[in-house]
Structure 1
Amino acid sequence: MEWASAARAGAGRWLRRWQNVLAALGLIAAILIGCRLWPHPSLRDALPRSTAIHDDTGRLLRLTLASDDQYRLWTPLADISPQLIDATLMHEDQWYWWHPGFNPWGLLRGAWITYVRHGHPQGGSTITMQLARLLYRLDTRTPLGKLHQVALALRLELFHSKKDILAAYLNSAPYGGNIQGVGAASLVYFEKSAARLSLPEALTLAVIPQDPSRRLDARHGPDVTVVAPRLAAARDRLFQRWLRRHPDDARWRAVFRMPLALHTIAQLPFEAPHAVDQLIAGANARGEPLPSQVRSTIDLGLQQLLERQVRDYVKHMAGVGVRNASAMLVDTRSMDVKALVGSVDYFNKDIHGQVNGTLASRSPGSTLKPFIYGLGLDQGVLGPQTVLRDVPSSFGPYTPENFDGRFLGPVTATQALIHSRNIPAVWVDAQLRDPDLYGFLSQAGVQNLASEQHYGLALVLGGGDVTMQDLARMYALLANRGVLKPLRLRQDVPAVPGKRLLSEAASFIVTDMLEQNPRPGTTFGSRPAAAPVFWKTGTSWAFHDAWTAGGFGPYVLVVWVGNFDSTPNPAFVGIDAAAPLFFRIHDALLAGHPQLRPPSRSLPDGLKRVRVCLATGMLPSRWCPATGETWFIPGVSPIRVGNVYRPVVIDNASGLPACPPYAGGSTRTEVFQYWPSDLAAVFARAGIPIRKPPHNPACANAGQAQGDPPAITSPLRGASYALRLDRPEGNAVVLAATSDADVRALYWFVNDAYIGRATPAHALTWQPVQAGTYQLRVVDDHGRSDARSLEVGVVQ
């Protein structure tokens, strides 16, 4: 019993003796945890940082200066070479993971050497203390300053983890000049990231911070700076210590005996300057800081190709006053800007080279005409073979002229577009409704447009201003089947679905029309077998700007030639000044990518091919001399049987139109062209012989071809049809008609929309999509017709 009582008393004394110690340890632990959990600024944000902007494959385009004019690129500890971390700790602070922020032995040793032995001053600073001096800009040359440094080091250790402190030091240590941190030092000196350093490179960086100004004093070569003897000696001493811990690295001895090249700040890349400027400015405008690493969409190889072609072309054209040009290349699949050349020379003040010409608002000339025709296709104004009138015309008070001052008379919509005829384009725009061209540009996001009344129809001919980037987005819309998407300069910007401004069919047809535009030196109708090009030129009023925009393969390319100060030059004509540069870039791209092809896209739903009379663009009568096929949007594209070519019965004796009834054997049939008077006048002025149809006042209907018009036999007159919702496949309506013996083709229309062609012996089927009253019409190939109404109801 006495033994047990003594044991309990001893245990009580032990608890009383240690409970204060345990309480103190618990209080310390609670303080440490509280300090770590208490909100405090991140060390990452303690100093301003640079941004490394790369191309789409990771090649450096530019390393920006931080706001304090230092190169300081934040690099997480996980992205720094482990060899560099170990070598830095070995060289600077071997007890880093164990001390509380300062090393008493190091401080005493430094004080002894500095103040007692009066040797080279040594501070005895740990990595934490060095970080405190860098962050708080301390003067630590006095004992009081050193005490202040120790106090702040303890504070850093209290509020931050060892890993965070080490990362902050490695990102703020001095590496010579205005280079701070291993991220910037690796890029500047070795042109690689801190994660990819070799052992000699890692040890070289590890010894620089102790004496960066003297150790970097070096011999200069033509391209690189060779590591100075002082720096090489310090690195080699560290390597000997390194081998004691890592004997397997003795294989590096031969490498350490070789000269090590260090690049200089002057050799930092400065690529795609206008694109990088725009990327930075965009982030600043949105008020968002750029991250340390930014992957742009620029392809450095394509960027350099465009720069080289633009530079050589401007030099070649200097004799005619060409001093500047801009160009940009966009991948339509992702809307990534692959190359952007804002001016021919970024550093040339005489031409305002730092201005980004791709963002300048300028008159686009005729480069907007494809979108007028696209809107016309969608609104049923025309088809690609619709014949338009290129004749002197007035649209209210507005009387436009053609660029060449000539009028061609009847031209197809395709010819009018690729030959940039102004009168047809203005006429098409005058027919547009909701949207017209102004509305289209507004929906496309074109900025700084004046009111619609300010432009009127002059907007068609380049009366408003757009930027090259606007044009690139809109021409990419054609390649993307009518969907407008924003351009991308950063890969971390998510792609967006975009918005539809043209139908798939209309954008497909416009692209097909523009692909028929012959490149300079070839003829209309010839198309290259490989990588077809759709393209359009533009010339602004008074020859201020020359444009060419288009696409090939997966790319859209836009080029501009002119002067940033808007000095006019008669040489600034799209086809003469900009198109050659466009095709120089195209050919250079094709040479590097001989298998370049556009992305595979299927034919838009509903798009059809229809045979038309080539001279009129209408359905062919039997008198049409030549026919061909064209694209047709069912229910939208305007189409009817043409009657320009008409037969006339001629009396053999008089040569005049015969009076009916016609006597067999004494008459013959001849075909004449019945062009409207304005087109006939253009033919006459151009010296084009058109046989004038003869006239016989002796009788009515002289020479007119006889024959009965077609008569609809199905559906029956007055009949009603019922749509069965449960059997949609049985809702087809049979269309049939009788016709005269001279008829070869019957053309059927529903509500003036062309639905198909049939021979007199065959019927056509049509399926109504909803209930209502429909107007059916059949026209034979002589222009004679019949029509009737049809009521369609619904049966549940």
Structure 2
Amino acid sequence: TLERVMGQYLRTHADVGMTNASALLLDASTMQVRAMIGSADFRNDAIAGQVNGVLAKRSPGSTLKPFIYALALDQGLLHPRTMLKDAPTSFGPYTPENFDHRFAGPLSAQEALIRSRNIPAVAVAARLSKPGLHDFMRLAGVQKLQSESHYGLALVLGGGEVTPEELAGLYATLANGGISQPIRYTQPAPGEPPAQPLRLLSEEASFITLDMLRHTPRPDTASPARPAVAWKTGTSWGFRDAWTAGVFGRHVLVVWVGNFDGTSNPALVGVDAAAPLFLRMVDALRAERLDPGEVALRQPPDLRQVEVCAATGGLPDALCPVRATTWFIAGKSPIQTSNLHRTVWIDDRTGKVVCGPRSDARPQVMEQWGSDMHRMFRQAGLPRASAPALVCEEDSSAAESAPVITSPLRGVRHMLRAGSPAPLVLRAEAAAGARTVYWFADDALIGSAAPGEGMTWMPDLSDPGRHYVLRAVDDRGRADSREVTVDIAP
């Protein structure tokens, strides 16, 4: 069935240079391979048809992103409705971009995953403690990995290499509630001891991750698949590999489309090249009753559904106008009350904000976004009104968070060349209402800048290896600090 579907698909796409593909179908309940297609045509020398692509190392693109979010769920960093930031961001020397070179602004973790936004995924990966993605892949049996420092955060976006077989094993871990087991091509021999399972993710994190992926819209209908399919696409750098991997019923299917010699082709985009083939294979298996369909999902014991404020993902306060439900892992998921909304009083005569309550003024609920979120809204073409900076003595809502230093990064040692030193860029985000951030180095004022704006600072070149304490203080006296070390090279 799968060979027939693949042959028909490639024949209709030969005009755009799609001539080869590989696929692996796995029964996750037994970890036995149900079907394997190493190449589109074993006898075709033009595509190196005798190469088994299922065992070939390739860049997986974005197909590893679900495991970033699963690890973050387990480490209490987010839940599906947690708001993430899709905006220009540098992670030290690494500045990732989105596939479409655009920025979506604030969006939920679930939306960031199913829309495959690169910057939120890298930002989440940068916050992971142990295990990170590299540890997870190594424990799951991915072979020939370089050191974690070799890849850095680029591993999130396909900087390493996996085989379709290894990728199927990773997705089977999600299907099996976070337990990793080896793939089998044959029935176990009589008396053979079963393989020892290895828990890599919690049952709750695996359940939520698959639930998020089930919301991915099919490219042919623009709606999630019914019966449900949890799937993710990937595109390697240079358009050399198009992937789709997913879970449906008790099966895991991985599809790769590309050329064994690594030839680039702009048609090799995961959602355009591999996803249609993947979904045709799923549809064909179901049409021929070779897949039992959706299996009954058992809700893990520590999983809850809670109500959150839709705009922030935090627990709703009395002012939150729109609420939504989300999955929540008891004892793990972040608990924070939303404080985005604020009541202000509008003078009936002038329309200006005044201190209230007053008989000649009306209350109005407004949003109080911080400087970083305002900038993201502007970049995404979604300007937002915000509560003004007016502070009244009785207004307890003015007690907002302190600035957050975003540059320099924490834990980074800075090296300057004495002959051509480059100044450090200092940047801090601030809460709504703050207009100026003042910068201090070891209690000495070195300058000021608007929230979110960069300011350059040249450390003392005569004192190599010096430790500085940098402080960012807003115009309401709230502060953040960071220690940095500056080395001087000749």
TM bucket normalised to smaller: 0.7 to 0.9
Conserved? CA contact 2:97–2:119, under 8 Å: yes
Match of residue 373 from structure 2: 679
Aligned counterparts of 1:436 and 1:556: Cα–Cα separation in 2: 23
SS in 2 for 1:638: coil
Name 2:197's counterpart in structure 1. Answer: 498
Match of 1:554?
250
2:235 counterpart of 1:539: yes
* The structure with more strand, counted as a fraction of residues: 2
- Which amino acid in the other structure matches residue 366 of structure 2? F
In 1, distance between residues paired with 2:197 and 2:295? 18
Q: Structure 1 residue 411 and structure 2 residue 102: aligned? A: no
Deviation at 1:522, TM superposition (A): 3.1
Kindly indicate whether the alpha-carbon contact (under 8 Å) linking 2:63 and 2:244 is maintained by their aligned counterparts in 1: yes
Which of 37, 40, 43 is residue 341 of structure 1 equivalent to?
A: 37
Which is higher, the Rg of structure 1 or of structure 2? Answer: 1
**1:456-495, aligned counterparts within 5 Å?**
456-493=152-189, 494=192, 495=194
Q: In 1, distance between residues paired with 2:147 and 2:167?
A: 20
Amino acid at match of 1:423: I
Which whole-Å CA distance do the structure 2 matches of 1:692 and 1:609 have between them?
A: 30
Counterparts in 2 of 1:540 and 1:455: CA distance versus 1, 3 Å: same
Cα displacement (A) at 1:673: 1.4
Indicate the residue corresponding to 1:611 in structure 2. Answer: 307
Q: In the alignment, residue 505 of structure 1 is paired with which amino acid?
A: E
Q: Where does structure 1 lack aligned partners over 5 or more consecutive residues?
A: 1-304, 708-796
For residue 424 of structure 1, what is the aligned residue in structure 2?
A: 120
Partner residue, 1:620: 316
Q: Is the 8 A contact 1:347 1:353 kept in 2?
A: yes
Q: Is the 8 A contact 1:545 1:562 kept in 2?
A: yes
2:44 equivalent to 1:353 = no
Once the two structures are superposed, residues 464-502 of structure 1 have per-residue CA deviations (whole angstroms, 9 ceiling, x without a partner) of 000000110110111100001111111135542421100
Taking the TM superposition and a 5 Å limit, the aligned residue runs for 1:734-753 are none
Displaced runs of 4 or more, over 6 A = none
Whether 1:701 and 2:392 are equivalent positions in the alignment is yes
C-alpha distance in structure 1 between counterparts of 2:249 and 2:159, whole Å = 31
Q: TM-score, normalised by structure 2?
A: 0.78
Contact 1:647 1:704 in 2 (8 A): no
Deviation at 1:451, TM superposition (A): 1.1
User: Displacement, 1:614?
Assistant: 1.2
Question: In the alignment, what sits opposite 1:373?
Answer: 69
Equivalent residue letter for 2:392: N
What is the CA-CA distance between 1:342 and the residue it aligns to?
0.3
Aligned-pair CA distance for 1:706: 8.1
Asked whether the 8 Å contact 2:86–2:105 carries over to 1, the reply is yes
Q: Secondary structure at the match of 2:111?
A: helix
TM-score (norm 1): 0.48
Q: Which residue of 2 aligns with 1:520?
A: 219
Query: Shift in Å at residue 652 of structure 1?
Result: 2.3
**Which of 599, 612, 633 does residue 329 from structure 2 map onto?**
633
Instruction: Report if aligned partners of 1:539, 1:573 keep a CA contact under 8 Å in 2.
Output: yes
Q: 1:444 and 1:659 mapped to 2: Cα distance?
A: 59
Q: Which protein has the bigger helix share?
A: 1
CA contact (8 A) 1:547 1:558 kept: yes
Number of the residue aligned with 2:475: none
Where does residue 509 of structure 1 map in the other structure?
Answer: 208
Q: In 1, Cα distance between the equivalents of 2:224 and 2:245? A: 17
Which whole-Å CA distance do the structure 1 matches of 2:319 and 2:291 have between them?
A: 45
- In 2, Cα distance between the equivalents of 1:666 and 1:330? 70
Q: Give the whole-Å Cα distance in 2 for the aligned partners of 1:605 and 1:560.
A: 36
SS in 2 for 1:632: strand
Which amino acid in structure 1 is aligned with residue 160 of structure 2? G
Contact between 1:378 and 1:506, CA under 8 Å: does it hold in 2?
Answer: yes
Describe the shift of the 1:502–1:441 C-alpha distance in structure 2 as closer, same or farther (beyond 3 A): same
Q: What are the Cα deviations for residues 319-342 of structure 1, in whole angstroms up to 9, with x where unaligned?
A: 000110000100011011000000
Amino acid in the other structure paired with 1:613:
C
Q: Tell me: CA distance 1:668–1:597, structure 2 relative to 1, closer, same or farther (3 Å).
A: same
**Residues 608-629 of structure 1, C-alpha deviations (whole Å, 9 max, x = no match):** 1100011111111222221111
Q: Take 1:395 and 1:689, find their aligned partners in 2: how far apart are those partners?
A: 26
**2:281 and 2:72 mapped to 1: Cα distance?**
32
Whether the 8 Å contact between 2:319 and 2:342 is mirrored in structure 1 is: yes
Q: Give the whole-Å Cα distance in 2 for the aligned partners of 1:522 and 1:414.
A: 20
Partner of 1:542: helix, strand, or coil? coil
Q: What displacement does 1:312 show?
A: 1.2
**2:372 is the alignment partner of 1:692:** no
Secondary structure of 2:212's counterpart equals helix
Q: Deviations over 1:610-658 (max 9, x none)?
A: 0001111111122222111110011110121111121112222332322
- Residue 438 of structure 1 is matched in structure 2 by 134
Structure 2: give runs of 5+ residues left out of the alignment. Answer: 399-490
Query: C-alpha separation between the residues in 1 aligned to 2:393 and 2:40?
Result: 70
- Tell me the residue number matched to 1:648: 344
> Take 2:214 and 2:176, find their aligned partners in 1: how far apart are those partners?
15
- 2:378 alignment partner, SS class: helix
Change in Cα spacing, 1:382 to 1:706, as seen in structure 2 (3 Å) is closer
1:128 corresponds in structure 2 to none
Count of aligned pairs:
395
Q: Secondary structure at the match of 2:296?
A: coil
Match of 1:668 in 2: 362
Structure-2 change in CA distance of 1:322 and 1:456 (3 Å): same
CA distance in 2, matches of 1:706, 1:457: 38
Q: 1:334 to 1:553 in 2, by over 3 A?
A: same
Evaluate the alpha carbon distance shift between residue 595 and residue 465 of structure 1 in structure 2; reply closer, same or farther with a 3 A threshold. Answer: closer
> Secondary structure at the residue paired with 1:388?
strand
Matched AA of 1:512 = D
Counterparts of 1:564 and 1:343 in 2: how far apart (Å)?
9
Distance 1:399 1:702 in 2: 43
Where do residues 238-317 of structure 1 align in structure 2 (5 Å cutoff)? Answer: 305-317=1-13
Paired AA for residue 172 in structure 2? A
Q: How does 1:140-179 map to 2 (within 5 A)?
A: none
Contact 1:657 1:695 in 2 (8 A): no
Q: Give the one of 600, 608, 630 matched to 2:296.
A: 600
Q: CA RMSD in A?
A: 1.8
Q: What SS is found at the alignment partner of 1:541?
A: coil
Amino acid at match of 2:271: I
Per-residue displacement from partner, 1:183-241 (whole Å, max 9, x unpaired)?
xxxxxxxxxxxxxxxxxxxxxxxxxxxxxxxxxxxxxxxxxxxxxxxxxxxxxxxxxxx
TM-superposed deviation, 1:599:
3.7
Deviation at 1:401, TM superposition (A): 0.5
Q: Contact 1:614–1:627 at 8 Å: present in 2 too?
A: yes
Question: In the aligned structure 2, how far is the partner of 1:320 from the partner of 1:645?
Answer: 51
SS of the residue corresponding to residue 238 of structure 2 reads helix
CA distance in 2 between counterparts of 1:431 and 1:395 reads: 11
Answer whether contact 1:647 1:705 (CA < 8 A) is retained: no
Secondary structure in 2 aligned to 1:543? coil
CA distance in 2 between partners of 1:578 and 1:706 (Å): 50
SS state at 1:464 partner = coil
Partner of residue 79 from structure 2, selected from 366, 380, 383: 383
Greater mean deviation of Cα atoms: 684-693 or 431-440: 684-693
Q: Say which SS state the counterpart of residue 410 (structure 1) adopts.
A: strand
